[in-house]
Each structure stands twice: as C-alpha cells, then as structure tokens.
C-alpha cells in the first residue's frame, strides 16, 4: 500500500486535477486559484474516505496547504 | 462507488464532439457530492455522452422544479426530502418540535406536496423525471417512543404515499423504489449531521452514491432482457427425470422443493409480460413431454417455445432457440444448475447472461428470482408483449411452411397466408410501442440512432414530418406493431432518418411493402435514407443493397423507378388507420 503522503497526494490530485505532482507538494489556498470552500469540502470528503477518519469542523482550519494537511493527518493517524 | 472514483470518472476527458446529455438535478438540499455521483453513474451508463448536471438554489425545491421546466433538459432528477416539505422537518431551521406544531406541519406538508405535484406534472410534459422520495429519516419530533408508529407520523407517511401514487400516474414520471434504496443503503447510515449543519448536504457519501446510482438507473435504464432459456432437472423442478420419472420430480413444500414452484411461478409471470421462454435440457424427449404436461406445473407448457431436449451440447440447443427467436445472445438469460453447462454456453455466447440455479440453497435461489425480475424489468406490458410467444411460435410455423414449399414463390405464399399491413401516423412520442421499437431494435435499424422523448417529439413535429407505425398480421396470427419510420418530406423527396423493424417480422417482405406504400401514398420520386452501418444492422443493409449502393457516403438514395422495377411482386393488403 502506498505511504500516507502518496495517498494524500492522490486526494489532492483528484480535487485539483490540473496540478502536477510537484505543485501538489507546494500547494496552498494562496497558490491555487480554484481552492475555494467547495474544493475544501471535496478534499475533506476524499481524505475521510481514503483514511477512514472524520475531520471535525474545527480542523478545517488546517485544510489550507498540502504541508499542513499532511502534518495534521500524521498526528491523527497512529502507526503511520 | 467511492467519491474519488466518481471524481476520476467525471474528470476523464470526452471527445470534443461527444453528444451532450443534460440532466437537471432539482432538490432543496445542497447537492455537493450528489451531483458528482449522478454525473459519474450516468457517464458509466452513457460512456459516449458528455454528461451535464444542472442544479438550482439551496432550499428552493419548488423554484428549482420551475427552473427545470424552463431549461428543458433531456432528463430531470427530483429529490424530495422532508425538509423540502416543511423546514421544521430538517435540522438547519428551528421552528419547534413540540406537539403544538405537529398539526401545522401536517397541513404544510399536504400543501407542499400538492404544489410539487403540479410542478412535476408541468415539467413532465417536456422532460422525463426520476423522483426520489425522502431518504433521510424524520427528526425526533414525535412524542411516542421510536419503536411506535404514532398517528401523526402515519399521517405524514400517508400524505407522502398519496403524493407518490399520484406522481407515479403522470406520464414520464418514475418514482425511485424506497424498498430498493433501503436494501442498498441502511436508513440509519444515511444522515451526516456534521455535513448537513456545516454545508447543507445531509448525505453520507455512500448514501449519496446509492441514491445517484438508482436515479441514474431510472434516467437511463439498461435494456431489459427479452428471453430466458431454462434447464429442467434441478432447475425447473427438483430431481432428475431420468431417475425419478415424470411423476417423481417435485416442486412442493412437503418435498422441500417449493423454491422450484416459485421459480415456475416467476417464469409464468415473465411469460405473461412478453418474455420468451425456452427449454434446453439433456434428457429423453418423451419423459420431458410427460413432465411438461403435468397439470400441477405452474408454468404452462404452451408458454415455452422452443423445447430443445437432446443429449447434445447445451450451446447447440441454445443456438437453435436463439435462431427460432431471432434475437441476439445479449438479450437472453440462461439458467442451469450445472456450472459446467453454464461455462460451456458462456464460452460460445459470451454476451449471454448465464446464471446458476442454486439447488438446495433456498435463500440464494430466492435471490436469483429477484435478480431475474430485475433483468427483465420493464415499464409497461404492451399488447405486443402478450402475443409475443404465440407470434414467435406462428413465425416458426411460417418459416417451416416457406421452406417446405420451396417451389412456391414467397410472393404467392404471402398472398395465401393473407398478409396484411396496418399503417398509420405515430400519434406522439409517448406511444410506448413506437418508442420501444426505436430504442431497442438493432438488426433492422437504419442507423442505430436512439431517440429520447424530446428528440422523438421533435422528429414528429418538424416541418414536413412523415411518420409511419406499421402492424402486421396473417393467417398465423398478429405480430402487432412491428415497424416505425420517421422522416421529412421535401418537395418530391422523402428523407428518412429513422427506420426500425422488429426481427420477428423478417422474411415477409414487409420492408418492401413499406417503401412501396411511401412512394405511392406520398407520390415521391426518391427516398433518401440516412443509412449508417452499425455492428448489428446487416439485415437492413442487405435489403437496401438491392436498390442502392450502401457503401457510398450517406445518405443513400432509392429512385422510385428503380425500386418498382426491382421489388418483388407484393400482395400484402394495406389498411390505413389512426393510432391516436
């Protein structure tokens, strides 16, 4: 099974299909024009589906860049 | 389907010239992933079309239904949740859940369903609609314990059911079966409170996918199967004829073989709705005849044709049955208890649905019965469906006669059997048999073009529109309505862009007589046909090749004088009628 980061990249790639692999690693709400609230909800749903977790509304604050989401995810998932 | 998969399907590029299929999703909830799933499931059903999903405003189902009607999409999906019938039945609006508000909610729901009914009726006049009734369980508004159905709750359900019954009677409206939804999406696992409160989308993703999948199935139903070939021993009945004899095989409760009686009962019902039934069995013909003559058999023997009983390969028996029915293997289901026989038939007819009858496993056998109902599911039972088995049987007699009296020209034979065509205009796109013929005929099909309701209606109402719905009968009995022709008259030329004829009507020179009728009744000098080769329309191609070059670019043209000089002598009588 691919590691956590690869799986997360896949979620980002599905939400933002126009981003390259490198762009995904650096992306944030500031750098991606179509990263709006709808994209955030879609991204959250994909992450919840992929990792079988629930992201609480207060955690949406972290859904602003790949890096931050990655860190948040690592802290949520044990034994990664 | 998972959301990631749905998004990938939706994001897969389509060829730029792919035809659009537009659907208006009318709902009061925020459609979020629902529209993604609907697009993905429709794309799976229609891989060559570009799916466009249009949605309206949050919280305004009635406004969105009015918008649906204005935008005239090719189909509409209408989702009614309890919160659309009264906002107090949702979670985002506060208006009280106390006993004092229940009568007012009751009145509000009644008023809203009446309004929705009118809007649905109006929209359905131009757009076929798939309607989904509330899927999210009611909130805790009733004072009874949850295991008890309180009066107010029952009254709300009654109002909803009354709405559903009336909506289901509107032409062009299909209601999503709540029992089917319950089977694939547990009611307790549908509501996502967090998503509802934060975004206004109340569905968990799995539920959204299920709702969308079933709606897509209503909007774009798969072609129902046309025929079923069944084995006998340990399938139609329990036991082996060879060992037990005709009286020894069973389908009774006390013999623990009742599941076979249910299977027979289902086959009888399928036959009565126009499904062809055949038997392919490795057995002694005499024993089979004796068993099929048993009075207690729930499937009447005259419903089965042909009965292929021999010791040869099952696939050969199946091949002869397909030839007698003149339909493709992909329209047929084969049921047998033997995995080996199923595999043998499947190896020869890979497109055929081959299903195992699980003898001794009653639960699984019952699931098979449900699956069969689904595979043969159809909108309505037409006149043609009720005479199908008889007409296939008489068709077989017809062909035997034409072959045994080979010395006699077919023209003379057709005169002797009193062949008659009844012709009239197609009254509307809602004529169910004409619509069915256009959308399921493959072999005698001018170009493979399918028409949805709106396209059919447009074809009937364009300038110079010409349409013909053709029925056939002879001394062997009626075949019912078997052909549809659609075109446009432009000065002395008739331009045909749709021509389909049921495969049951082949070898009777009906196609020749149709063209002759059009040349004479419209007094045209030329018929232009928008012919296109398809993987399966060889029969019409061979027919047209007698009068024009089918390899040249489309359209092809048939000159009246060439047709008249090359056509056979035709003796069918023509009756003109109004089908309206």
DSSP-derived secondary structure for B260-296: HHHHHHHHHHHHHTT-EEEEEEES-HHHHHHHHT-TT
When pLDDT is cut at 50, 70 and 90, the band that residue B402 belongs to is: low
Whether A14 sits inside 8 A of B2 (CB atoms) is: no
pLDDT at residue B386 above 80? no
When pLDDT is cut at 50, 70 and 90, the band that residue B293 belongs to is: very high
Whether B32 sits inside 8 A of A41 (CB atoms) is: yes
B283, B233 in Cβ contact below 8 A? Answer: yes
Mean pLDDT of A36-65: 91
**A56 CB contacts (<8 Å, ≥6 apart)?**
B194
Q: How many CB pairs under 8 A join A and B?
A: 31
Q: What angle do CA B486, B489, B493 make, to 5 degrees?
A: 110
Q: Chain A partners of B33 at a C-beta cutoff of 8 Å? A: 42, 45
Pick from B218, B113, B220, B134: nearest CA to B182: B134
Q: Chain A partners of B4 at a C-beta cutoff of 8 Å? A: 10-11, 14, 46, 49-50
Say what the pLDDT of residue B216 is.
97
As to burial, measured by CB atoms within 10 angstroms (0-12 exposed, 13-18 middle, 19+ buried), residue B17 is exposed
Share of chain B above pLDDT 70, in %: 97
- Out of B4, B33, B205, closest to residue A14 by CB: B4
Whether B4 sits inside 8 A of A50 (CB atoms) is: yes
Alpha-carbon span B168 to B145, nearest angstrom: 33
Complex ipTM > 0.85: no
- Out of A38, A41, A49, closest to residue B4 by CB: A49
**B409 CB contacts (<8 Å, ≥6 apart)?**
B569
Say what the pLDDT of residue B392 is.
76
Q: pLDDT digits over B337-363, tens only?
A: 999 899 999 999 999 999 999 988 999
**Cβ-based neighbour number of residue B500 at 10 Å:** 26
Alpha-carbon span B482 to B499, nearest angstrom: 11
pLDDT at residue B7 above 50? yes
Say what the pLDDT of residue B106 is.
95
Residue appearing with tokens 């659009």: B20
Q: pLDDT digits over B471-489, tens only?
A: 998 887 788 899 999 999 9
| CA atoms in the 13 A half-sphere facing the CB of B495 | 12
pLDDT at residue A80 above 50? no
Whether A14 sits inside 8 A of B205 (CB atoms) is: no
Query: What tokens does B263 get?
Result: 């299977």
Whether A45 sits inside 8 A of B8 (CB atoms) is: no
DSSP-derived secondary structure for B163-190: HHHHHHTSTTEEE--HHHHHHHS-GGGS
CA distance B7 to chain A (A): 7
Query: What tokens does B555 get?
Result: 């359209």
When pLDDT is cut at 50, 70 and 90, the band that residue A78 belongs to is: low
Whether B198 sits inside 8 A of A46 (CB atoms) is: no
Say what the pLDDT of residue B507 is.
78
Q: Chain B partners of A57 at a C-beta cutoff of 8 Å? A: 194, 198
pLDDT at residue B400 above 80? no
Whether B3 sits inside 8 A of A10 (CB atoms) is: no
When pLDDT is cut at 50, 70 and 90, the band that residue B470 belongs to is: very high
CA distance B60 to chain A (A): 20
Alpha-carbon span B252 to B265, nearest angstrom: 12
Whether B7 sits inside 8 A of A15 (CB atoms) is: yes
* Residue B226 Rama label (left phi>0; alpha psi -120 to 50; beta): alpha
Residue appearing with tokens 């949805």: B452
- Out of B3, B32, B201, closest to residue A46 by CB: B3
Mean pLDDT of B443-454: 90
> Rounded to the nearest 10 degrees, how much is the dihedral formed by the CA atoms of A61, A64, A70, A72?
-10
B110 touches chain A (CB under 8 A): no
Alpha-carbon span B268 to B301, nearest angstrom: 10
When pLDDT is cut at 50, 70 and 90, the band that residue B403 belongs to is: low
Say what the pLDDT of residue A79 is.
45
CA distance B201 to chain A (A): 10
pLDDT at residue B139 above 80? yes
pLDDT at residue A19 above 90? yes
Least confident of A60-69, B136-145, B247-256, B387-396: B387-396
Query: What tokens does B490 get?
Result: 């432009």
Q: Chain A partners of B198 at a C-beta cutoff of 8 Å? A: 57
B181, B6 in Cβ contact below 8 A? Answer: no
Alpha-carbon span B362 to B256, nearest angstrom: 10
Residue in chain B closest to A47 (alpha carbons) equals B4
B282 touches chain A (CB under 8 A): no
Partners of residue A29 on adjacent β-strands? none
Coil, strand, or helix at residue B230?
Answer: strand
CA distance B79 to chain A (A): 21
Mean pLDDT of B32-48: 94
- Out of B2, B3, B194, closest to residue A57 by CB: B194
pLDDT at residue B505 above 50? yes
* Residue B136 Rama label (left phi>0; alpha psi -120 to 50; beta): beta
Q: Chain A partners of B203 at a C-beta cutoff of 8 Å? A: none
Q: In this structure, are strands B465-474 and B477-490 parallel, antiparallel, or unpaired?
A: antiparallel
Residue ranges of E strands in B73-144: 75-79, 129-132
Say what the pLDDT of residue B205 is.
94
**Cβ-based neighbour number of residue B580 at 10 Å:** 9
CA distance A14 to chain B (A): 7
Q: Chain A partners of B11 at a C-beta cutoff of 8 Å? A: 14, 17
The answer to whether the bond into B555 is cis (omega within 30° of 0) is yes
What is the overall mean pLDDT for chain B? Answer: 91
Whether A45 sits inside 8 A of B33 (CB atoms) is: yes
- Report long-range pairs for B246-251 (Cβ below 8 Å, ≥24 apart): B246/B287, B246/B290, B246/B291, B246/B293, B246/B294, B247/B294, B249/B291, B251/B297, B251/B298
> Rounded to the nearest 10 degrees, how much is the dihedral formed by the CA atoms of B340, B342, B344, B350?
-150
B397, B446 in Cβ contact below 8 A? Answer: no
When pLDDT is cut at 50, 70 and 90, the band that residue A75 belongs to is: confident
Q: pLDDT digits over B533-572, tens only?
A: 998 888 899 999 999 887 777 789 999 999 999 999 888 8
Q: pLDDT digits over B258-286, tens only?
A: 999 999 999 999 999 989 999 999 998 99
pLDDT at residue A58 above 70? yes
> B316-325, B414-423, B447-456: which has the highest mean pLDDT?
B316-325
Say what the pLDDT of residue B408 is.
64
Alpha-carbon span B449 to B447, nearest angstrom: 5
Q: Chain A partners of B6 at a C-beta cutoff of 8 Å? A: none
């Amino acid at each position: 099974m691919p590691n956590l980061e690869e799986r997360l990249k896949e979620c980002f790639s599905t939400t933002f299909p126009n981003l390259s692999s490198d762009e995904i690693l650096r992306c944030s709400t500031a750098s991606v024009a179509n990263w709006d609230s709808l994209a955030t909800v879609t991204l959250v749903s994909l992450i919840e589906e992929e990792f079988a977790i629930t992201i609480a509304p207060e955690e949406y604050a972290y859904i602003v860049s790949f890096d931050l989401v990655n860190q948040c995810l690592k802290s949520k998932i044990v034994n990664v | 389907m998972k959301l990631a998969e749905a998004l990938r399907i939706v994001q897969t590029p389509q060829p730029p010239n792919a035809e659009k299929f537009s659907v208006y999703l009318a709902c009061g909830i925020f459609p979020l992933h629902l529209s993604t799933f609907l697009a993905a499931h429709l794309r799976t059903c229609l891989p060559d079309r570009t799916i466009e999903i249009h949605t309206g405003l949050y919280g305004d189902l009635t406004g969105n239904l009015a918008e649906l009607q204005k935008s005239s999409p090719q189909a509409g999906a209408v989702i009614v949740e309890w919160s659309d019938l009264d906002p107090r039945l949702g979670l985002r609006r506060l208006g009280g859940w106390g006993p004092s508000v229940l009568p007012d909610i009751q009145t509000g729901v009644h008023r809203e369903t009446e309004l929705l009914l009118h809007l649905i009726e109006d929209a359905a006049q131009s757009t076929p609609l798939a309607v989904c009734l509330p899927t999210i369980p009611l909130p805790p508004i009733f004072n009874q314990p949850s295991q008890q159905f309180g009066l107010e709750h029952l009254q709300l359900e009654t109002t909803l059911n009354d709405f559903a019954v009336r909506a289901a009677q509107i032409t062009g409206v299909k209601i999503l079966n709540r029992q089917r939804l319950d089977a694939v999406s547990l009611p307790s696992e549908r509501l996502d409170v967090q998503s509802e409160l934060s975004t206004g989308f109340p569905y968990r993703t799995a539920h959204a996918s299920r709702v969308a999948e079933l709606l897509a199935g209503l909007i774009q139903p798969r072609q129902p199967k046309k025929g079923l070939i069944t084995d006998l021993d340990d399938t139609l009945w329990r036991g082996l004829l060879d060992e037990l004899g005709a009286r020894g095989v069973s389908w009774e409760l006390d013999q623990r073989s009742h599941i076979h009686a249910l299977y027979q009962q289902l086959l009888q019902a399928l036959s009565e709705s126009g499904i062809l039934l055949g038997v392919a069995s490795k057995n002694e013909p005499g024993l089979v005849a004796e068993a099929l003559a048993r009075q207690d058999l729930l499937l009447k023997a005259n419903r089965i044709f042909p009965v292929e009983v021999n010791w040869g390969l099952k696939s050969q028996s199946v091949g002869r049955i397909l030839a007698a029915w003149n339909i493709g293997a992909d329209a047929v289901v084969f049921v047998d208890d033997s995995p080996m026989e199923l595999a043998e038939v499947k190896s020869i007819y890979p497109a055929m649905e081959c299903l195992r009858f699980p003898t001794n496993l009653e639960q699984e056998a019952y699931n098979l019965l449900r699956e069969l109902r689904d595979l043969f599911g159809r909108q309505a039972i037409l006149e043609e469906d009720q005479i199908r088995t008889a007409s296939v049987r008489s068709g077989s007699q017809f062909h035997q006669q034409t072959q045994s009296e080979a010395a006699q020209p077919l023209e003379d034979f057709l005169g002797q059997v009193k062949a008659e065509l009844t012709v009239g205009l197609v009254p509307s796109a809602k004529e169910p048999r004409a619509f069915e013929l256009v959308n399921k005929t493959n072999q005698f099909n001018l170009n493979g073009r399918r028409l949805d309701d709106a396209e059919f209606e447009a074809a009937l109402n364009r300038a110079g529109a010409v349409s013909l719905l053709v029925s056939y009968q002879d001394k062997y009995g009626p075949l019912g309505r078997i052909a549809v022709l659609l075109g446009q008259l432009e000065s002395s030329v008739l331009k045909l862009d749709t021509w389909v004829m049921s495969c049951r009507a082949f070898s009777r020179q009906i196609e020749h007589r149709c063209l002759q009728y059009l040349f004479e009744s419209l007094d045209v000098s030329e018929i232009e046909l928008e012919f296109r080769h398809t993987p399966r329309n060889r029969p019409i191609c061979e027919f047209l090749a007698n009068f024009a070059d089918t390899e040249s670019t489309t359209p092809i043209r048939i000159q009246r004088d060439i047709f008249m000089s090359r056509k056979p002598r035709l003796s069918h009588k023509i009756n003109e009628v109004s089908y309206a």
